[in-house]
Amino acid sequence: MLEHFKTSNWCKFFLFLAFSILSISQIQAQNDTLVLKNNDKLIGEIKEMSKGVLTVKTPYSDSDFKVKWKEVVKVSSNQTYLMSLSDGRRINSNLKSTSGEEGKVTLVQGNIELVTDIEDIVYIKAIKGSFISRVDASLSIGFNFAKTNNLTQFSILSNLGYTADKWGFTAGFNSVRSNQDDVDETKRTDANIGAKYFMKHDWFALANADFLSNDEQLLKLRSSTQGGIGKYFIHSNRVYFATGTGLAWTNENYTDPSLKTKNSLEAFLSLELNMFDYDDISLYSKFVVYPSLTESDRVRTDLNLNVKYDLPLDFFVQLGLTHNFDSQPIEGASTTDYVFQTTIGWELD
């Protein structure tokens, strides 16, 4: 009997301890506080702010709250975040509104204390140990069918990104395949992988590798390895605008086996525009021009343009345009190629 009594008491003790730990963890998980312009107060866990939208997890909702960052006037959180400011600085700090000054926050990194406007913070990411917490990804697909000649077209678009304290990694894959009666299959595939190392005053070093296989331009594979430097000229909660320049080493293999592999050295200049926080619509565009340094008068250009409309539950509809131009293609190949894509997809953000 005494032994049973002791066992029972120990069970009660551990249950009480487990309940206490759970209660404390729930309290800690919801100790971030936001005050909006309309004086509404939101308590939860700040996960990230990207493209002008703040994501907050609360214990009383199955879905995360999405709040426009420009509506926030006060914030308080003891978590440590990776933050980017509009002038290009990247800071690891907690978030505390400045006492007596609405619309301002005090950031502390090491022994340095910085007071800045809330609107000057353009990116926030909670720093956690897990790899997945720093990953962004999206996948969208499209399918078209026409009775005439049994035309079918399938397309896929995917993107992957990872953000660390001082650098970022991106990758993408885009493929279009068309089939119809009495016509050979048409294929177009492009992929890219790249990294940026962020420096002071919105400058960054960049390294990219682009790949293209394109029946229209008789390309079995074009690979281009690039290195250079770039700068953000606009870095706000609604628009990113950056440019980059450097050198590219390009290798081209053709679908005709009788044609020799071609290598060339090119310069490149890129313009990149990312517009977001326009209700549920966002726009991304990148234009790159490649003047050849080893082939006289040859110029290539690549253009990507995507317009996305956000749907509930992180789904979206996307309209895309990809355009390639080569002033000196091989004999029998087209100087230009382009493809329009309409896809529906989902993103991990």
List pLDDT tens digits, range 181-201. 777 778 889 999 999 998 888
* Residue pair 316/141 in contact by the 8 Å Cβ criterion: no
- Indicate whether 337 pLDDT > 60: yes
**Rounded to an integer, what is the distance from CA 33 to the centroid of its chain?**
27
Exposure string for 15-40, b = 16+ CB within 10 A, e = fewer: eeeeeeeeeeeeeeebebbbbeeeee
Q: 280-327 pLDDT, tens per residue?
A: 889 999 999 999 999 999 999 999 999 999 888 889 999 999 999 999
* Residue predicted with more confidence, 5 or 320: 320
If one counts every other C-beta atom within 10 angstroms of the C-beta of residue 120, the result is 17
Among all chains, which residue has been given the structure tokens 């069918």? 145
**Sign for the pseudo-dihedral over CA of 254, 256, 257, 259:** negative
Return the bridge partners of 112, or none: 109
The pLDDT assigned to 129 comes to: 54
Predicted pLDDT of residue 61: 67
* Alpha-carbon span 234 to 297, nearest angstrom: 33
CB 136 within 8 A of CB 145: no
User: What is the model's pLDDT at position 128?
Assistant: 64
Mean pLDDT of the chain: 83
> Could you tell me which of 82, 71, 75, 73 has the C-alpha nearest to residue 44?
75
> Is the pLDDT score of 17 beyond 60?
no
Whole-structure pTM value: 0.71
When pLDDT is averaged across residues 87-113 and rounded to a whole number, the result is 82
pLDDT band at residue 228 using 50, 70 and 90 as cut-offs: very high
Coil, strand or helix: which one is 133?
helix
Predicted local distance difference test score (pLDDT) of residue 174: 92
